[in-house]
Amino acid sequence: MSEDSYFCNPNKTYQTKDMKLAVVGATGLVGSEILEVLDEHNFPYDELLLVASERSVGKQIEFKGKTFTVIGLEEAVAAKPQIAIFSAGGGTSLEWAPKFAAVGTTVVDNSSAWRMDPTKKLVVPEINAKELSAGDKIIANPNCSTIQMVLALEPLRQRYGIKRIVVSTYQSVTGTGKAAVDQMMAERAGEEPEMVYPYKIDMNVLPHIDVFQPNGYTKEEMKMINETKKIFGDDSIAVTATTVRIPTIGGHSESVNVEFKEDFDMDEVRKLLSETPGVVVQDDPANLLYPMPITAHKRDEVFVGRLRRDESQPNTLNMWIVADNLRKGAATNAVQIAEYLVAEGLF
């Protein structure tokens, strides 16, 4: 089996026995996306448990021609699934992931609860899945903006080494959740919305994602800084971020300026990126080809374009990176981690 065959491979056949899979937070935006990705990837399971908070228990969900009844967390723990994919918020993860782990379940968690815990692995499968072992019972899924950036940077880091990263993000309202989408669409329709953001979001830009920290950065910006270093395993990389919310629903976009330790060749950069699993190069300005959220929507890949040398200083590259934040930024990455666990028997 090739190393790349764990990822984005709906035609793969897995050898499993009595696989019981739980999706925690199955009624939310990311939970719904996880179900779609499981279907598209032909993920192997014998029994699927759809789990949510008490207010959603008993709700019926149609999936793959079957009707599933949503169960609560206590019932799900008692069922002892081999793998549980969590997308139910940090508080739920902090309380319940250890309870699942205690009965032998391997948890893949989408929240920020465990990402910077030094005892937990922070995984983008194409980069560091090999670090996982059967003893890792709680595995953290990185922040959506971090995932797409580090996946695009990894082949270049391996070749040239990275000294400094400056990133500005343009993030979809779907990153906040359904209520934020509802606010934007209500504003667009001229209705009075229930406010999720402190200001109007339609026809506006908010340089404010998550809460502000004492250093003037937001929590989202600090996530990108700290998670990038952890995933790369290199605290020497200087990272600074500005994260911005924009009125789109297709995915997150990023302007990345990366300074390498060594000089680079533009043709080699494009070649390295085009050969990276999960990365699609769209870089043809003459024909107006570049990544956009509208074309990344519902796609698993990370799209990279606007590749150009920074002429203001040496060894520095400008990149434009786009991905569907509910896919590779959340659901797809989590499912890929689970695929790796199954393929390697690490559960």
Active-site positions read: 144, 252
User: Cβ(4)–Cβ(301) under 8 Å?
Assistant: no
For residue 90, what are its two tokens? Answer: 């940090």
User: Cβ(134)–Cβ(208) under 8 Å?
Assistant: no
| SS3 of residue 163 by DSSP | strand
User: Cβ(305)–Cβ(289) under 8 Å?
Assistant: yes
Residue ranges with strand state E in 183-243: 238-242
| SS3 of residue 160 by DSSP | helix
Euclidean distance between CA atoms 12 and 298, whole angstroms: 20
| SS3 of residue 306 by DSSP | strand
User: Cβ(269)–Cβ(317) under 8 Å?
Assistant: yes
Alpha helices in 62-215 (DSSP H): 73-79, 90-102, 125-128, 144-160, 178-188
Which own/partner contact pairs does 156-160 have at CB distance under 8 Å and 24+ positions apart?
Answer: 156/258, 156/260, 156/264, 156/269, 156/272, 156/273, 156/317, 157/232, 159/264, 159/268, 159/272, 160/260, 160/261, 160/262, 160/263, 160/264, 160/315
CA 274 to chain centre: 20
Cα dist from 141 to 19, 175, 287, whole Å: 21, 15, 36
